[in-house]
Structure 1
C-alpha cells in the first residue's frame, strides 16, 4: 500500500506538567532540521519534536546514538519516529536500539518506523538486475544495490555513515519489535520499496 500504517489515537500520557497535553515525539536520526522529515502524524500543534542524532553537525537537541540514548529519560516521550535509521546499525545492535525506543516511551506510547523492504527488491536481485534503476530520489537514481548497501552517490561523497549494515523483511521487523516488548504491531509495505511498522508500548497511565 502507499501509506504507512496509522497508529491508534495517541495515549493521553503527557511527559509535561499536570494538565499539559503536549505530546513529545522523539525523532531518532533526525538529520538537519526539516519539518518535512516528520511524519504527518506528528505535525499537529499537539506534538513537540525532540531531535536526536549521532552527528553534532545536524544540531540536534540530543547528540547520541540510538543504541545509547542516555540523554532521554525513561517513560519521557509519547512516540518515537525512526525513518531509515535502523538499517544503518549492525544486526546485533538492532535489539539494543529497539530496547532504547521501548525504554523512553511512556505507557501507551508508540513507535513508528520505516526501513527498506528487502523482500520487495528480491526479484531484481534474482533476475540479475542489481544495478537497474528502480526509482529516482533527490540523491539520484536508486537501484537494488543502493537499497541493499546504502546510496552509492552518498557513499561516494565520503558519507560512509549512510552505509546499510542490516536489512528487514516484514516478518523479521515484526519479530524484532515483538522481542523488544512492543505489542499490537502492524507492518505494511508501500510502493517505494519501504516497510512501515507501528508498535505500541503495553500498559496504561497510572
Structure 2
C-alpha cells in the first residue's frame, strides 16, 4: 500500500502522517428514514446505513456525532455494539447529535454490552493454561467485552496509531445508559436485557451464572414539541442577554 511508503518517507524527514476520512453523504437519506449508525458490514432490512468507513452499502460515511449535519427528521436511529467504541466525550456528543437528527417522536435504539454482565464473566474466568487460546472462554470473551477484540493492534506497524480498531473506550449499565440518554434530551427511556441462548452458552463455554442480561438494549424517544421548547429556550436566553 502507498501509506507505509509515504509514512517512511515522512519519518525520515521528522514527520508523522495521519490518516483522515472525509465525511460525505453518498446517497440521499429522506426524512422519516431509519438509519443504522455504525453498521459496519451488517445489514438490516428497511434501514439506511451510516459508518465511518465508506463501504459499498453505506449512504452516509461520517463520524457517529456528525449525523445531523447530513440528515434531519429521521424516524429512527439504530446502533448495535458501536457506542462502547467511543470515548465518553464522543458518546455524549453522538447522543446529542442523534437527538437533533431525529424527528419529533423519533426513536433511538441502542444495543451495547451490559457492563455488569461483562464484569461478572471476567471475575469468573479461569487463569490457567492458555486462557486466551479459546475464543469463547470467560477470560477471552470477558476481556473482549471489557476492552474489545483489539484487531490489527501490532505496536510495530508503521501506522499503528491509525490502524488498530475494535477497542472499547466506554461501558454501560442500565443506570448509566438511562443517565446519558436523559442528559441528551431523550424521554420515554426503556432499558431491557437479553441473554445468550443455551446453545450459545454451551458453544462458548460461558459460565451459566454469567449468561443472563449479557446485552443491554435501550430505547428512547425525542418528545413531541421538542423543537418549540428549544426555540423558546433560545429566545429567552437571547432576551436575557
TM-score by length of 1: 0.71
Higher share of residues assigned helix: 2
Task: Point out where structure 1 has 5 or more consecutive residues left out of the alignment.
Answer: 1-14, 17-22
Q: Is the 8 A contact 1:31 1:58 kept in 2?
A: no
Equivalence for 1:4: none
Q: Does 1:201 align with 2:222?
A: yes
Q: CA deviation at 1:112?
A: 0.6
1:121-149 C-alpha deviation (Å, 9 max, x unpaired): 2223334547576858xxxx951001111
For the aligned residue pairs, the C-alpha RMSD in angstroms reads 2.8
Deviations 1:77-116 (A, max 9, x none): 1000001111110112111000011011001110010001
Structure 2: any 5+ residue segments left out of the alignment? 1-29, 155-159, 197-213, 229-241
Q: CA separation in 1, counterparts of 2:80 and 2:59?
A: 17
TM-score (norm 2): 0.61
Q: Which has the higher contact order (CA 8 A, sep 6+)?
A: 1
Q: Over alpha carbons, which structure has the higher Rg?
A: 2
Contact 2:68 2:101 in 1 (8 A): no
| 1:123 match: secondary structure | helix
Give the secondary structure class of the aligned counterpart of 1:167.
coil
In structure 2, the residue matched to 1:7 is none
- 1:179: how far off? 0.7
CA distance in 2, matches of 1:134, 1:195: 22
Aligned pairs, how many?
169
Q: Does 1:28 align with 2:49?
A: no
Aligned: 1:186 with 2:190: yes
Q: Which residue in 2 is equivalent to 1:107?
A: 104
Aligned residue in 2 for 1:8? none
Alpha-carbon distance between aligned partners in 2 of 1:182 and 1:202, rounded to the nearest angstrom: 7
Structure 1's 85 and 184: CA in aligned 2 closer, same or farther, altered over 3 A?
Answer: same
Matched, 1:166 2:136: no
For 1:115 and 1:147, locate their aligned partners in 2 and report how far apart those are by CA, in whole Å.
Answer: 10
From 115, 123, 129, give the equivalent of 1:126.
123
- Once the two structures are superposed, residues 143-176 of structure 1 have per-residue CA deviations (whole angstroms, 9 ceiling, x without a partner) of 1001111124x34588622111111111101111
